[in-house]
Amino acid sequence: MDRRRISLTVYLMVAAVWQIYLIVSAFRDAPVLRAVLAGLGGEASPVSRSFLGLYLFWPLVPIASSLLALAALRRERDHPSSIAAALILSFGAGLVLHVWLHLAFFRPLSQAVGALR
């Protein structure tokens, strides 16, 4: 195993752990967000609504990106660009989940905390 392969494996594992953490956070905190939105009344932002509608499907993301990463690692010697695509997709997916989670949470939570104060 050379340095490049070690680096790719480490990076892909870090991306997978990051995605799994975000999914655990989503499942842990979504009931709180739902209760806050119900308590606030009015209409939730599209980001929050889309988050609550879709977070149950988030576990598909690390499964898909892990399968892609494994395939890319296997074909690395023949198709060096496939590994770059796998890395970009893995970290890109993590970043999208991260931003989505934060946008979905912070505005309603700030509103709720502001209302409580």
Partner 1 sequence: MSAGATVRRPPAETNDGARGSGGLSAAWLLAPVVWQAWVVGVAWLRFPRLQALFVGLGGSLPFLTSSFLACYRFLPLVPTAFLLVSLDLLARPRRGEVSLARYAAVLIASAGSALALQIWMDEAEIGPFIAVLWRVG
Nearer to partner 1, 35 or 54 (CB): 35
Assess 50 for contact with partner 1 (CB under 8 A).
Answer: no
Site stretch for partner 1 (CB under 8 A), options 21-29, 40-48, 51-59, 60-68: 21-29
Q: Where are the alpha helices (DSSP H) in the chain?
A: 3-40, 46-54, 60-74, 80-116
- Answer for the pair 97, 61: CB distance below 8 angstroms, yes or no: yes
b/e per residue 88-97 (b: at least 16 CB within 10 A): ebbbebbeeb
Q: Is 56 one of the binding residues for partner 1 (CB under 8 A)?
A: no
CB 86 within 8 A of CB 72: yes
Q: Determine whether 117 is exposed, middle or buried from the number of CB atoms within 10 Å of its CB (0-12, 13-18, 19+).
A: exposed
Contact status: 84 vs partner 1 (CB under 8 A)? no
Task: Decide: is 81 part of the binding site for partner 1 (CB under 8 A).
Answer: no
Taking the complex as a whole, the smallest distance from the CB of residue 17 to partner 1 amounts, in Å, to 6
Q: Does the protein bind partner 1 through residue 25 (CB under 8 A)?
A: yes
Residues forming contacts to partner 1 in the complex (CB under 8 A) are 1-7, 10-11, 14, 17-18, 21, 25, 29, 32, 35-36, 39, 98, 102, 105, 109-110, 112-113, 116-117
